Amino acid sequence: MAHENAINIYTDGSSFCRPRLGGIGVRVVIINSSGLEEHEDYPLSGYAEATNNQMELYACIEGIKIVMRRPDFGNFERVAVYSDSQYVVDNRERAFLYGLEINGVIIKASLLTMPCCGKTY
């Protein structure tokens, strides 16, 4: 479920074992002024020699980069990142321990909501 007054990022990453090739997908969802969901999909390129965990993390990073380029980025109270990866959810605090800087903007874990599998962590 998408949060209101937030940019909601749904991510997924995967990797095939033979040949070893990874890929990611990102969906951005916002609730418009009429209360309806608007979404944009970003299927992104595959990557050779990638692991599943690498692709899951990369999908989150690329999703954050995508929303930060939006002209309306500053109009939202928070960024909610959704992942089905337990690895991503379990490691989000470490990943953002010192803040993630993208284009001069530092993102702290406290500003992110990362529900996984229907639970909020």
Residues paired with 102 in a beta bridge: 105
User: What domains sit in the chain, N to C, each tagged with a CATH number?
Assistant: 6-120 (3.30.420.10)
Distances 78 to 15, 55, 81 between C-alpha atoms, Å: 30, 24, 10
For residue 111, is pLDDT > 50? no
Distances 8 to 47, 48, 49, 52 between C-alpha atoms, Å: 25, 28, 29, 22
**Higher pLDDT residue, 41 or 104?**
41
Answer for the pair 18, 48: CB distance below 8 angstroms, yes or no: no
**Higher pLDDT residue, 119 or 25?**
25
At 63-97, the pLDDT tens digits run 988 998 899 888 888 888 888 888 887 776 666 54
For residue 117, is pLDDT > 60? no
